[in-house]
A and B are shown apart, each in its own frame.
Chain A
C-alpha cells in the first residue's frame, strides 16, 4: 500500500497515529516496514512518559537499564528509518466518514483509512489546596525536568508506586533530604524498594507510610514552604522547598470529547479483542486503552498488535465493531 491521494483538498494517509510514545512508535515501525504510509501526531514529547523517566530497568533487551530519553530517541530513529513521519501538532477530533476518517488537527484537516489512538497517559494531580497555585513554582510532575532547581534543598515527594520511588531515587542527586509521603503502603517493585532503602539508611530519604497530603503551603515571596498531611488521624507538617507529585496516571483522551468513541468512566478508551474502538477503523493501544497495564513493554506489544490488526483491516479483513 502507498500514500493515496483522494479527489479532495484534504491530504490523505493510510494510517494516522495519534501520539508518539512507545505504542505509537512501535506500531509505526510495523506499518511503515510494510509500506503502509504512516504519519504520527505528537503534541508533547516523542517517547511519551518513557522519555521523561530517568531510567527504565524493566524494558527487555537492556540488561543494565536504559535512560528514558535514549529509549525514546532510538524508537523514533527506528520508526523514521522505515519512513514514519512525525508531525508536531495536535489532533482535535475524529469524524467517521465511512471508508475514511477525517481528523481535525492543528495543521488542518486530514483523512486516514485507519487511525491508531496512542496518546498515552499523564501524571495525575492530587487535587489539594495550594497545588495549582504553586504549579511549576514549587509543585512539579517531572523530576527529570525540574529536579535541578532543588540542589541542596529539601523536597517532598507524594506517591508510593514505581514512578514515585523511581523519581525519588533520581531526586536524591539534587536534594539534601526527601520526605516521601505514601498514602497507604509502597507498591513499587522489590528492586526499586531495595534501592530506595539505601537512601533511607543514608538518611537522605524518610518514608512516611499511611500519610495523606492535605495542603501545600507557601507564599509569593518564598514559594512552597511546607506540606500539611495527616498520619494516624493527626495533623503532620513537612518543611520543604518543593513538592513532586507521582500519584498515578490519567488518560490523555480529552480530545475525544467531540468524538463518539466509547471510553470507560475514567476516560480510557474501550477496545475489542482486535484493539478496535467503537468507531470502525479506529484502534487504540498503550496506556490510553482501558485495561492497559501501564508498562512500556506492554505498550510496545500493543503497538505491534494494533499495527497487524490495522493491516488486516486495510486489506479488507474486517473486524466487526462490537458496541
Chain B
C-alpha cells in the first residue's frame, strides 16, 4: 500500500530549481533511503513531506504530495494535523531543555491530551520502542540535556513516535553520532519498520545499503534512479548511480 506518493513534484527556492519533476512512492512498513551528493535535493524532498519547507521564505512548490492518499498541500489542510501523521527526526539531536519524560510527552500535550494515565503509557511505550526505556527508566525526571548524544537522538525518536505517526522522516539521523550510537539507531530502525513507514536521508552509502528496502538516488534536483536497494546496489541502471555508490564521486 502506498503511504507516500509524490507526483511531478517541483520545488523552487526563489530562482533556484531545487527539485525537478520527482514522481515516486513509498510503501507501508518500508524503509526508503534517499541518497546523493550535497545539494542534490534529498533533504528538500524529505522536508516537503511534512511541509517543513513552508518555514523557508521564498519556497514554492508545484505538483502533488499525497500522504495516505490525501493531498498534503491542498487548500484547507492543517499543517499541524499533517505533521501529526508525518513525524520527523533531525540531523542534530535536539531534545528540549526539559526532563526526559516531558520531552516525550510534549507531542501529546501540544495536541491537547491531558489524561495523565494515557500520557504515562504512551511515553513509556515510545521510550520502549526507541530502545531507550531501560537506560532512562529511573531518571525520567532528569534533564534530557544530561543524556549522551546517541541517547538524545533515541529520545528524539521516542518524541516523534509518541503521537503515533504513520510516517517517520529521518534527516541524516546518525551523522552527528559515534559509530556505536549509529549502529543502535540503525538497529532501531529495523524494529520500527513493523509499525511505521520510514524515509531516511543519508550521506552514508553503506548505511543506505544496510538498512533500506528501497533506495532513491538524487542528483542536482533530479531523481536519477529509484528501486529496491538490492537492485540499485548490485545492478544500477545509470552510470551516475554506479559512480556514486562505488565512490567515484560524492
Do chains A and B interact in one complex? Answer: no
Residues of A participating in the B interface, judged by any CB pair closer than 8 Å: none
Residues of B participating in the A interface, judged by any CB pair closer than 8 Å: none
